Structures are given as C-alpha cells and as structure tokens.
C-alpha cells in the first residue's frame, strides 16, 4: 500500500450502505484506517460472499434489508453505493438526521498520493477514460496512469496502490459525484451532457448539476477540459474557477479541435481523423478530449498519435472483434439506450451494415432512431423490444427485417444476410436484463457466436 495514512476515521462509527465492488473496497479501507465499520447490504447473508468475507475480518454486517433503526447507532458518516438513489427511504431518513453521506470516490481522494484526472459525461466516459490512460502510459517507465472508478476498478482500491508519480484516471458517474465533499481533480473532463438517468436525479437540471460538481473544488491551477460543441457547457464554463480548455469538432478553439479531418492542440497538428484506431464521429470528440489531457500533461505529439492510432476501443463499446468470410464484426453491447446506438451507427457505411438490436422494454419508443436507421441493409431483432424496433425499422425503410430468439441465434442469421465487405454490428439500444445478467455477458455471447461460425 502506498497511500496517505490519515487519522480522520480512527474510532469513527461509519456505515457502508450497499456493497458491490465499491462498497466492499470502501469497507476494507475504512477498517484498515481504524474506523468502526458496519456494512448494510440488501442481499441475504447466505448468498452474500462479500458480506461473509467482511464478517470474517471483524466487520459488523447486517444483510437482507435496510432497517431504519440502524440509524440510531450514532454513525458520523455513511459511505453510500452510487446505485442507491437519494430517494431511498433509508437515505432520506439519514439525510433528515443530517448524517453526512459520501461515495467511495471521496475516500479515494482523501488517501490518494497521486493526482486525479476525473472524467464524466453522459456518453463516451469509458472510451475517453481508457484512451487517456493509454496515451499517458505511452512513454512511461517508473510510474503508471491507473484507470479507476466507474470503469470497474473501485477508486478506493486503486488509490491505495498508487504512488505520487502515478495518475488516477477516474471515470465518474453523476451518482458518484453526488457524494463528494473535498474531491479535487487536477484535470477534469466533461465529454458531453445529454438526457440520462432522469429517473435517478428527478430532473434534467439536477442531473446537469451532479455532473458539474466535478469542478466544485477546482482552482485556476487546475484544468477543466470541456466539450465546446455544447451550448449548455459553454454557458456553465463561465461559472468555474478552473482554467477552461475547450475541445471542438466545429472550428478552432484555444484547446483541442478538428479542422478538415485533422486534429490539433493549440495550433500543433497531432494526427488526422482517419489515423484514429476507432471509427465514428463521437470517437473524434473522445480523442480530442484525450489529446487535450495528454498535451496538458506534456506528452509529446508523436506519442499521442502513436497511442491513439493503436487504440482499438473498449470491450463492448464499438469494439472490433474480428472478421469471418470477409465480414467485419463489431461488439457495441454497452449501447443500452438509443443515443448510444445512434452514436455507433454514425461510424459505419449503412449500405454495408447489418444491425443486431433489442432488449429490455422500458416503455420508451424508438422514433428518435428512425433517421439513423435509414439506408441500413438489414436488421435482426430480439428481446422484449423487437416489435417496437421493427416498427421503427419499417418507418426507416430498412428492406430486410428479421426476428431471432436472442443474440446467439441472431449472429448466424445476420451472417446469411451479409455479403463480403459488409459489417455486422451488435448495438442493442436497450438494456440486457430481459435475457442476460449484464451487457458484458451479452457482448461475450455475440463474440462466441461469431467464433462458432468458423
């Protein structure tokens, strides 16, 4: 462990609410820092391996429900799992008693020796975070840029390992940012802000404010890298103390920008768009954000170009997974809403594209997809939303619309509909939970089905 040894939590009664990876990590860290930790998780004890392990380490564990009387125990702090909404009765009761509530990224900040680069936004967070890590590690020898946060590596675990010369490249969801107090990145990135998670935040302004919290403790010595294509973000940029570094695909700015298919940082040519290792207009924006961060960290232009041309994408996010019979396969299982699928579709020639889509029905229509579906060669649909999607596909004039049982059976069907030179894209536009435990499993089944064609 190479972290700051802090005394803040010694003998403090702290409640960790909700386990999963981040809660498990937070509970262990707080225990190590001398706190009197209680864990409360909804999953029953017999099925709860994490709770069993924490109990064996001497941590108090209460599972199966969230009893309100637990709050009578005089906790000085609650570390809340980001997935639990503030509207939850237990959280509401804690708030009414003025018990401070944080998420574990705040703990990570408190113990981190390494500076933090924080990335938030509606879409592109994971890709941009991974790109930044990849570029910053391009010419390093004795230190490392470490990915952390919402990307699947709990920030409070990674922060314990990081030395002062490292960087923590941290993907931050709006849910995590709701629970910060002193959290202070030296560079923050906001990729974009669209409609999302309104069910959790209650309203769009609250969602935007949650994202905007990323810069609340920043000073003029820190850099806020921000999408200048978005009017809303240009407006917000007026109210930050941080030094604003814009990126734009719509003309020259005092930061990173694209002009005529070339990518620049403050007048310096970095590379051309067609040298990027990942397709799609949205990835140009992600790359510009990465170029801005890398340039601020003094990475050489040649190294940035080398890193971004080798980068072939994040697993399950418009990821190239192979070719069979001269047909290319892309796994975009992480596209769990229409917007993400629209982004992916922007990167491909529709006349040579077979799309696989469908999944959990959340009551929304797919009318907004219609303009983006136009010109597609064929579509194969599965899951609860297949009929709704077929309706949108018909309105878009897609000539071949087929149904299949699931992703596994959609792949061979899509292959029979394709010709050499075509692309088969899984970009479901829906969550996976009607048929699969998560989008990763759905994407893995797609890859396995492609491999079975051989």
Does 27 score more than 70 pLDDT?
A: yes
How far apart are the C-alpha atoms of 262 and 72, rounded to whole Å?
A: 61
How far apart are the C-alpha atoms of 166 and 348, rounded to whole Å?
A: 37
How large is the angle between the packed helices 49-56 and 20-32, nearest 10 degrees? 10
Q: Tens digit of pLDDT for each residue in 177-200?
A: 999 999 999 999 999 998 767 777
Percent of the chain at pLDDT exceeding 90 = 86
**pLDDT at position 196:** 66
User: Can you read off the two tokens belonging to residue 189?
Assistant: 């990135």
Write down how long the chain is. Answer: 454
How large is the angle between the packed helices 125-136 and 281-296, nearest 10 degrees? 40
Instruction: Please report, in range form, the residues annotated as the binding site.
Output: 121-127
How far is the CA of 328 from the CAs of 235, 253, 303, 318, 390, in angstroms? 41, 36, 29, 12, 24
pTM of the model: 0.80
Region 390-403: mean pLDDT is 98
Question: Beta strands of 319-405 (E only): which ranges?
Answer: 319-324, 327-331, 353-357, 378-381, 400-403
Does 83 score more than 90 pLDDT?
A: no
Q: Tens digit of pLDDT for each residue in 222-280?
A: 999 999 999 999 999 999 999 999 999 999 999 999 999 999 999 999 999 999 988 88
Region 360-370: mean pLDDT is 94
Helix (H) or strand (E) holding 225: strand 223-227
How far apart are the C-alpha atoms of 147 and 145, rounded to whole Å?
A: 7
Q: What is the DSSP letter of 239?
A: G
**pLDDT at position 1:** 58
- Return mean pLDDT, the chain: 94
User: Can you read off the two tokens belonging to residue 203?
Assistant: 């309203």
Token pair 């959609």 in the structure block, residue:
410
Q: Tens digit of pLDDT for each residue in 277-311?
A: 888 888 999 999 999 999 999 999 999 999 999 99
**pLDDT at position 204:** 85
Place 220 in a pLDDT band, splitting at 50, 70 and 90: very high
257: CB partners within 8 A, 6+ apart: 246, 247, 248, 249, 251, 263, 264, 288
Q: For CA atoms 363, 332, 169, 194, give the dihedral sign.
A: negative
Domains and CATH numbers, the chain: 13-102 (3.40.50.720), 106-310 (3.40.1190.10), 319-452 (3.90.190.20)
Instruction: Please report, in range form, the residues annotated as the binding site for ATP.
Output: 121-127
């Amino acid at each position: 462990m190479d972290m700051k040894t802090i005394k803040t939590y010694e003998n403090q009664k702290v409640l960790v609410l909700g386990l999963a990876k981040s809660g498990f990590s937070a509970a262990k860290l707080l225990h190590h820092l001398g706190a009197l930790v209680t864990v409360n998780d909804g999953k029953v004890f017999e099925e709860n391996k994490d709770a069993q392990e924490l109990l064996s380490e001497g941590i108090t564990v209460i599972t199966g429900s969230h009893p309100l009387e637990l709050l009578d125990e005089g906790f000085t702090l609650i570390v809340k799992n980001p997935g639990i909404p503030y509207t939850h009765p237990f959280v509401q009761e804690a708030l009414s008693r003025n018990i401070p509530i944080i998420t574990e990224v705040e703990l990570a900040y408190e113990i981190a020796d390494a500076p933090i680069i924080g990335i938030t936004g509606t879409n592109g967070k994971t890709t941009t975070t991974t790109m930044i890590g990849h570029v910053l590690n391009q010419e390093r020898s004795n230190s490392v840029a470490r990915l952390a946060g919402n990307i699947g590596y709990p920030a409070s675990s990674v922060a314990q390992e990081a030395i002062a010369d490292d960087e923590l490249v941290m993907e931050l969801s709006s849910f995590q940012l709701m629970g910060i107090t002193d959290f202070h990145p030296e560079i923050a990135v906001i990729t974009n802000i669209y409609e999302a998670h309104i069910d959790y935040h209650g309203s769009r302004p609250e969602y935007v404010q949650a994202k905007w919290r990323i810069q609340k403790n920043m000073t003029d010595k820190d850099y806020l890298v921000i999408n200048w294509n978005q009017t809303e973000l240009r407006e917000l940029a007026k109210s930050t103390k941080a030094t604003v570094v814009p990126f734009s695909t719509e003309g020259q700015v005092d930061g990173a920008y694209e002009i005529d298919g070339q990518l620049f940082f403050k007048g310096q040519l970095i590379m051309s768009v067609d040298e990027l290792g990942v397709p799609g207009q949205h990835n140009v924006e992600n790359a510009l954000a990465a170029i801005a961060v890398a340039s601020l960290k003094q990475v050489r232009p040649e190294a940035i170009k080398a890193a971004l041309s080798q980068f072939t994408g994040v697993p399950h996010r418009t990821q190239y997974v192979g070719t069979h019979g001269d047909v290319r396969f892309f796994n975009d299982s992480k596209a769990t809403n229409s917007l993400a699928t629209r982004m992916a579709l922007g990167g491909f020639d529709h006349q040579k594209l077979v799309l696989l889509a469908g999944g959990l029905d959340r009551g929304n229509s797919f009318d907004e997809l219609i303009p983006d579906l136009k010109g597609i060669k064929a579509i194969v649909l599965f899951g609860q939303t297949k009929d709704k999607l077929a309706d949108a596909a018909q309105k878009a004039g897609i000539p071949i619309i087929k149904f299949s049982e699931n992703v596994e059976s959609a792949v061979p069907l899509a292959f029979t509909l394709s010709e050499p030179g075509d692309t088969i894209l899984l970009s479901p536009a829906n969550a996976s939970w009607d048929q699969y435990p998560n989008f990763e499993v759905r994407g893995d089944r797609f890859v396995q089905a492609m491999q079975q064609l051989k």
